[in-house]
Each structure stands twice: as C-alpha cells, then as structure tokens.
Amino acid sequence: MRSGKIFRSLFIGAILFAGFAFAGAGVANAQTDSVAGEWNAAMNHPGGVSNFKIIFKVDGEKLTGTVKRSAGDRPLEGTVKGNDIQFSYSIVYGDNTMTMSLTGKRDGDKITGVVYFGQSGQSSDWSATRATEE
C-alpha cells in the first residue's frame, strides 16, 4: 500500500514539473516573439550609412524606447501591430529639428523598412537585427 502512495506522489510531482517547464518555455517564446529589446540598426542616407542601436519597449500596441546614436540618445514613440512597426524620433540637423519616421516589418530577429527624412520628401531603407546577449 505504501508503494502505491509513493508512486502516486512521484507521478503527480512529474506532471507538475512538466507543467512548470512548459509554462517557462512559453514565457521565453513570448519575449522573443515581441519586438521589445535591443536591436542593432543601420540606415542609408545621402551621406552614407549610419549605425545605431534601438531599444524598444512594448505596452500593448504602444511602442516607446530610445534610439542610441553617436550624436546622442533620442526618445522614440510609435506603434506595433503584429510584425508591423512604425515609430519616429527627432534630431537636430543643422539648425533645424527633423523628425525621422520609420516603418518596418519584423521577421524573427530581423527588421527591414523605410525611413522618411522629415518634410524633405526623401526616404531610404533601414534594417535591424536583434542584439545578442554577451
């Protein structure tokens, strides 16, 4: 009789352990399924290519974060709907403030899209890859 109770306890313990393991995997997948996190980005523009970092924070469809540029960090605001993202941030170019508007589509750990340079009517492409933890 005692061995039956031990078997039943071990069986229940194994089921609970498996449930917690799968729940933990779901949390990890939810994080990588989100655009949230740090990305290494590059943008083409008339002067060449600029490399920078983007840190995205997601709250529902609201996208916030920081664009980390050699000329200084800039806050960003935008939206994320599924794999489609759009955001903007402002820079000072010459003596003028210019709003950079970016749209993109995330495919796993890569984003590709178009950047619009303020009111100039000019645009170019940009891309990003998710930064890996070191």
pLDDT, mean of each 10-residue run, the chain (134 residues) = 54 45 40 84 91 97 97 96 97 90 97 94 96 79
Q: CB-based burial of residue 25 (10 Å sphere; 0-12 exposed, 13-18 middle, 19+ buried)?
A: exposed
Regarding whether 88 and 59 lie in a shared domain, the answer is yes
Q: Tokens 């994320």 appear where?
A: 80
Regarding whether 52 and 104 lie in a shared domain, the answer is yes
Q: How many domains does the chain have?
A: 2
Q: How far is CA 85 from the centre of its chain?
A: 9
Between CA 113 and CA 124 the distance in angstroms is: 9
Regarding whether 55 and 10 lie in a shared domain, the answer is no
Regarding whether 65 and 117 lie in a shared domain, the answer is yes
Regarding whether 59 and 3 lie in a shared domain, the answer is no
Regarding whether 62 and 21 lie in a shared domain, the answer is no
Which residues form the domain of 44? Answer: 36-130
Q: What is the pTM of this model?
A: 0.74
Whether the CB-CB separation of 111 and 39 falls below 8 Å is answered with: yes
